[in-house]
Amino acid sequence: MNVLKTLRPLRILPGDINGLLALSVDNLSVMALLAGILIGGFGVPADTVLGRMIPGTAFGVLVGDLLYTALAVRLARRLGRTDVTAMPFGLDTPSTIGMAVLVLGPAFVRFRASGLDAEAAGLETWHLGMAATMVMGLVKLPLSFAGRSLRRIIPQAGLLGSLAGIALMLIGFLPIIELMQSPVIGFLSLGLVLYALVAKGRIPGGLPGVLFAVLVGTALYYILWICQFSGMVFHTPVLTPLRFSLPRPDLEILHSLPLALGYLPLLVPFALLTIIGGVNNTESARVAGDDYDVRSILLAEGAATLAAGFVGGVAQTTPYIGHPAYKQMGARVAYTWLTGLCIGIGGICGVLSNLLELIPIAVLAPVLIYVALDMTVQAFQAIDARHSVAVVFGFFPAIARMVTIELSNTTFLSPERFNELLTTTTGGLPQLAVIVALGNGFIITATIWTAVVAEMIDSRMRNAAAFLAVGSVLCYFGIIHSVRADGSMYALWQLSGVSHAVAIQFCTAYAGLAATLWLLSTFLAGKPKPSN
């Protein structure tokens, strides 16, 4: 009897099938985007991405879904209820795309430029991705105990504004260029994604919108391939026999840890955003009737990310937005363990690798564009309307990072010319050096800039000054506004020449504005704010 009582919450209900389909499509879409960007955008060998990165990444989803299932069962027992819905869980879309575009892809290009062949460069990139994912997991574990405090300290505009900048400039703009290189397929897929997800149009057969757009776009791609449509370049998928690829640790990760630590200005914000998102999603679940312990939710996601990196994964996991929607569709507990098994076993057996190999990048790009639009709009909808200008102000560092990515592409500038322009000036600081420095550490920079403006709008000048003071310290160590082309950190006294001039001026600029705002707050204390 006790065994039956224990298994009762795990039984599969009709709503769990709906939840399984929705959550599996979400996770598969993110993995397809990761594979498409690395293979199609940067030329990382498919064997490395599909045979090494994907199985470990899928394993992280399996671990997290099983942990969230256990938390749901525990809550159901504690409350004596049968209608508890497990928290949806999977790969974090913004940071997964950020890892591909900002860390893994550029690292592969640098490894190739250093003389490594594609296979060796791919392995080095994989080890870096494992190390970076483990670093994010290690960062998230202690942050799990301070999630609510962090949400109180950093204005919501600061958190969402920095994310919106990434979305619009990197997740949205760069893929739209890729999409328009095959406009017949890409534009149709984008239109269907917008029809299904933005316009909420009806889909034949009740299929999920993203799945429908991917199926139609992929079918059109292969029809045009058969017809050899004029002007299009086609990628012939290479399907391999299903192979058992058990995720496993690789000691080479130890050699990549120092390199991964150089990416802390990116990795820490990625981890922080999932912690804050986890707090918000847990609150959303509480309002919907399922009162989860927020610390347990955050610790489980940190453990899943750490496990993924340890066995070959290159993307962090997170609780998903939409718990109330899953509850409304009738999903309860079983849909999370079903999703975990489907994604995890599919990754280990090579089913996901073959599936991802079939989907062209032009079909996936529209999903990225939708994600970018949704994240940007969410930033404006979730904040006080008065803080909108702060969010927009936070876009500038992301624009600088996008320009740096494009200019560092050898199609536009040779490495020699790029390095020459970093020190070329006609008066003032070199323009390219300023662009590079503004773009390095852009997520943290955007968070600080947005928070400063939001605090000024709310007449909290000393809070704004404190954020600026923190920014000055971060500048000193190159955590933001690193003057090095690779964005690596340093101590200011280690620099010389033009690099030192750029760094000292950025550092002083933050300190100067911080001091000015603090003096203003002291001088004007108690005086009424003039009305407009």
Distance CA 143, CA 131 (A): 19
DSSP state of 320: P
- The answer, yes or no, to whether residue 495 has pLDDT greater than 70, is yes
First CA to last CA across the chain, in angstroms? 71
- The answer, yes or no, to whether residue 522 has pLDDT greater than 90, is no
Tokens (6 digits) for 293: 């312990």
Tokens (6 digits) for 324: 């109330």
Question: Please, is 117 exposed, middle or buried when counting C-beta atoms within 10 Å of its C-beta (0-12, 13-18, 19+)?
Answer: exposed
Which residues are CB-neighbours of 525 under 8 A, at least 6 positions away?
A: none
pLDDT the model gives residue 149: 77
> What is the amino acid identity at position 120?
A
Question: Are the beta carbons of 281 and 87 closer than 8 angstroms?
Answer: yes
pLDDT in tens, 139-191: 999 988 887 777 677 777 877 777 778 778 777 787 788 788 888 888 998 99
pLDDT the model gives residue 506: 94
Q: SS3 of 317, please?
A: strand
Calculate the CA dihedral of residues 16, 60, 95, 164 and round it to 10 degrees.
20
Question: Are the beta carbons of 267 and 136 closer than 8 angstroms?
Answer: yes
Range of 115-124, 181-190, 341-350, 370-379 with top mean pLDDT = 115-124
pLDDT in tens, 267-276: 888 888 788 7
Pairing of strands 317-319, 89-91: antiparallel
The residue among 44, 40, 50 whose CA lies nearest residue 116 is 44
- The answer, yes or no, to whether residue 247 has pLDDT greater than 90, is no
- Domain limits of the chain? 15-370, 384-521
Question: Are the beta carbons of 74 and 355 closer than 8 angstroms?
Answer: no
The angle formed by the CA atoms of residues 105, 110 and 114, to the nearest 5 degrees, is 150
* Host H or E run for residue 509: helix 497-523
> What is the amino acid identity at position 286?
R
Distance CA 326, CA 349 (A): 28
> What's the predicted TM-score (pTM) here?
0.74
Tokens (6 digits) for 255: 């050699």
